[in-house]
């Protein structure tokens, strides 16, 4: 399991903040789980989130632009979904 930052606004995700998050040991940025978990908390429901990397944001100015997916993404996505479906809580 890796640490992940959850933010609700892509415009607050800057190169400076990404560097800070990496220094704090975070390996990913998520933009959807926050709303789901907060809604569950509001209604008193338990929640779990499984995250898969689907894209890569440039880490520094001048890096190659943002890209979706990657090598073998569709197969990895399908394996991830299958693993989530088959997951049993301890």
Per-residue pLDDT of the chain (90 residues; tens, 9 = 90+): 678 887 766 666 777 887 888 899 888 888 788 888 889 999 999 998 888 887 777 777 888 877 777 778 889 999 999 999 998 877
| Residue 29 three-state SS | strand
- Contact criterion met (CB below 8 Å) for 35 and 8: yes
**How buried is residue 37: exposed, middle or buried, by Cβ count under 10 Å (0-12/13-18/19+)?**
middle
**What pLDDT is stored for residue 9 in this prediction?**
64
Q: Is the pTM of this model over 0.85?
A: no
| Secondary structure element (H or E) that encloses residue 56, with its range | strand 55-56
Domain extent, residue 11, equals: 3-86
**What pLDDT is stored for residue 79 in this prediction?**
94
Domain count, the chain: 1
Give me 70's structure tokens: 């990657």
């Amino acid at each position: 399991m890796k640490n992940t930052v959850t933010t609700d606004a892509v415009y607050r995700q800057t190169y400076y903040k990404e560097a800070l998050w990496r220094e704090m040991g975070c390996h990913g940025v998520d933009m959807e789980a926050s709303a789901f978990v907060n809604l569950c908390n509001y209604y008193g429901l338990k929640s779990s989130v499984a995250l898969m990397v689907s894209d890569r944001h440039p880490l520094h100015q001048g890096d190659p632009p943002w890209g979706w997916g990657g090598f073998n993404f569709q197969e990895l996505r399908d394996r991830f979904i299958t693993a989530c479906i088959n997951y049993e809580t301890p």
